[in-house]
Chain A
Amino acid sequence: MSTVTLVLRAGVRDLARSRWLLAYAAGFWVVTEALFLFGGTGPQVVLSLLNAMLLVVPLVALVFGTAHVHASREFTELLLAQPLSRRAVFLGLYLGLALPMTGAFLGGIGLPLLLHGAASDAPRLALLLLATAGALLTLAFAAVAMLIAHGVDDRLRAMARAIGVWFALTIAYDGAIIAAVSAFGDWPLERPMLLAMLGNPVDLARVLVLTALDATALLGYTGAVFRRLLGTPLGPAVALLALSAWAVVPVLFARRRFLRRDF
């Protein structure tokens, strides 16, 4: 087996037995289950699940990922002291972190979806997009976590930075959009809004799922602009493509830092 596979396998074996990751999966399971039982009609279930996912997935990927990289410091050094290439060790470590987290998310929402999804009137496409968006967000923010943790050796400062990124992209971002719209409402804001959305994977994931729901009122300003500019069929494709880019580009930056840094 290749270095990547072996390091990845060690990571998966380790995290599959981690109580934190099991609790994460169980949390999504309980929320999804509860929404199907008490959440009202299908589209409402998807909306509630989307809101939970958009807040929790980036937060857990950033915080758990940063803590995990620091906890694996000595193990990383052990691997790098072997005659193995840094590139392969990096890829194995990244996938060994990102894939179990993605699996926990997909398992947590997937099981209740399989159990209730067929019977409920929830729109299938929206559910599929929600799962895809959550998986892509996990991949993206696991890489951002690696980028942060390999740049800041102090655990506390790295954690503060990770939470700062989460806060900026989820809470502060929405506030900034509202402020910009109310302050510059008289100017044409389409392009800046579109750029802001492309620069924020959380917003991209939101708009991507909402385009599959008939819930234009909930799109928010960036989503409305997006739909108007690109039209319905092209919109989700562009959002999906941009979100996929977000799942890849941070990995490249994290890899660059990993290859160059001193341990």
Chain B
Amino acid sequence: MMTLDGIRKAYGARTVLAGVSLSLAPGRIVALVGPNGSGKTTLIKLLLGLARPDAGRLVLDGVPCDADGAYRARIGYAPQAPRYPEHLAVGEVFAMLRALRPGAPVDEALVDDFGLRGEWATPVGTLSGGWRQKVAIACAFLFAPDLLILDEPTAGLDPIASGLLKSHLRAARAAGRTILISSHILVELEELADDVAFLCDGQLRFAGPVDTLLRETGTRRLEPAVAALLRGLRIA
């Protein structure tokens, strides 16, 4: 569905992504994992056009993504540490987003399930980190996007919200949508992820189904598998 083709990105002298090619297939949940500073967030920002690659290109369903950003109509994004204008009410944030995209299909199931209607008049600045995360995730799902990108989505969520998110992610997968989740919490991803993309030092060290990764590393779970990948890199 979305393809990254030889993406390179450097900030000054520091190379963050050194030629990353990755294909995201519809109906699959991809776990983007890697140590701190491995380039996960940069990769997501490039997908969204927030930053521009030095080389390489993004292709969405065979069409190269252009600079005007119209392709972003098909992407929903929840950042890691969301913040909104602090004096805006929760309801005003959603109303503004809907007004910015008139005519787009709207899916407010998560708004209801997360109980955000109960906070509709609350200024966003007074919400806790977990509640802001709920707002961000509900915003990402709001336009029923073909590609969902969630950066550390479960870090601030309570178990109930986390469970709700997972069931919505499964439903989205069943509907044939593409999901990219970046996270450190591998246990969370384990039960959801179909594929793993392992990023280290700006290079994609592994990309493929979870089963293949477990088989290749001789482990049964994601966490030791990723650790084995990391160790392999250290020794090599």
Contact = CB atoms under 8 A, between A and B. Distances in A.
A77 B69 CA distance: 13
Nearest to A17: B87
Interface in A71-86: 71-75, 77-86
Interface string B61-99: 000000011111101010101111111100010001101
A188 B52 CA distance: 52
Interface residues of A, number: 30
Contacts of B136: 78
Interface residues of B, number: 33
A170 interface: no
A124 B214 CA distance: 81
A244 interface: no
A78 B88 contact: no
A72 B79 contact: no
B79 to A, nearest CB: 6
A65 B169 CA distance: 39
Given A77-B79, A84-B69, A13 B88 contact: yes
Interface stretch (A3-11, A130-138, A139-147, A205-213): A3-11
**4 interchain residue pairs of minimum CB distance:** A14-B85, A262-B51, A17-B87, A83-B73
Interface of B: 11, 45, 48-52, 68-73, 75, 77, 79, 81-88, 92, 96-97, 99-101, 123, 136, 139
8 contacts: A13-B85, A16-B87, A71-B83, A75-B84, A80-B50, A80-B69, A84-B69, A86-B69
Interface of A: 1, 3, 6-7, 9-11, 13-18, 71-75, 77-86, 262-263
